[in-house]
Structure 1
Amino acid sequence: MSMTVARRPHRLLTMAPAVLALGALFVIPAAPAVQKGDDFLTPETTGVLNLEPGECFTDPEYSPAAGEDIVLYTTCDQHADNQSYGFVHADDGPYDRVALADFGWTSCKRGFVNYWPGAAGAELDYYPILPTAETWADGDRDIMCVVYDPRGELGGSMLPRAS
């Protein structure tokens, strides 16, 4: 004896729109690209003056122990947000923030294009760390050039290996 059984529509198919809608609530959007300018860090940010060319460091974070924002040296393969790739020296004279920023961007761009030709706008970007009026008055004429990945942490040293 054969029996005919009425089949109900597949429950998963009837639930699909609800599941898709629910799933959309849990999609984590990609983090927006970060743009760092010449005012992102200054030599007055604790830790900046301890950095040498080629060294990696964190973005500034508030330290309860220090009571201020600090940057920390880190190895380039462990939570590094930035890497110093050189210094340029500004000429003496009166402090002029606009002229100093122009000099810093132009000078750091030469090093950036040299080390990472074609990288601008792709995976890497750069910014200068400029003297402030206060550090300038104390004789600071050095501008640090820094490379970073606008999408997040660096995946190791960004400096090309010598061949």
Structure 2
Amino acid sequence: MAVTRWIAVAASVLSLGTLFVAPPDAPMKKTDAFLDAETTGVLGIEATECFDDPAYSRMANDRVVIYRPCEESADNQAFGFVYAPDGAFDRPAVAALGWDRCGAAFGKLWRGGSAEGLDFYPVLPTAETWADGDRALMCVVYRPGGKLPGSVLPLAN
């Protein structure tokens, strides 16, 4: 009888334990606020290159973007740049421009079903980088459900 009770208690504890298990990673929606031109390392990324999401570096005492060869399953891939016109920095207008132009480029590169499972976001200048003449917005493709399986850029015909 004691063994049966012990088994019942153990089963109850195990079933309660599943209430506290972390759920699998949910798909992440990246926005134009995910990273910006002041995120350490992002200015070194060029079109077609892959990189991981920013992570805190004790050495840099900051969040850092690390270049990663696309063959090593990176989090993101830069697929182009668009340029904002000169003028006063207006973040909402620059963000709208980034979503519009990067969205148009994304739509041309990944037509039909080829975009399945992919999404994009723009990386914007900040007021500080804008004051230094930065007008470049990086267009980035990523997979909301996890890492890219390699370069996802369509091959040119």
Q: What TM-score, normalized to structure 1?
A: 0.81
Could you say what secondary structure the match of 2:94 adopts? Answer: helix
Tell me the alpha carbon deviations over residues 81-100 of structure 1, each in whole angstroms, 9 at most, x when there is no partner: 00000000100000001111
CA 1:28–1:136 in 2, change beyond 3 Å: closer, same or farther?
closer
Question: Kindly, what percent of the aligned residue pairs are identical?
Answer: 51
Aligned ranges 1:1-163 → 2 under 5 Å: 22=15, 25=18, 29-118=23-112, 122-163=116-157
Over aligned residues, Cα RMSD in angstroms?
2.5
Give the distance between the partners of 1:119 and 1:132, measured in 2 at CA: 34
Structure 1 residue 77 displacement after superposition: 2.2
Decide whether the 8 Å contact of 2:73 with 2:150 is kept in 1: no
**Alignment: residue pair count:** 148
Amino acid at match of 1:30: P
Could you say what secondary structure the match of 1:77 adopts? Answer: helix
Decide whether the 8 Å contact of 1:119 with 1:125 is kept in 2: no
Give the distance between the partners of 1:28 and 1:123, measured in 2 at CA: 23
CA 1:78–1:121 in 2, change beyond 3 Å: closer, same or farther?
closer
Task: Identify the structure with the greater helix proportion.
Answer: 2
CA 1:52–1:96 in 2, change beyond 3 Å: closer, same or farther?
same
Structure 1 residue runs of 4 or more that deviate by more than 2 Å after TM superposition: 24-30, 118-122
Q: Structure 1: any 5+ residue segments left out of the alignment? A: 1-14
Decide whether the 8 Å contact of 2:36 with 2:126 is kept in 1: yes
Q: What TM-score, normalized to structure 2?
A: 0.84
Tell me which structure has the larger Cα radius of gyration: 1
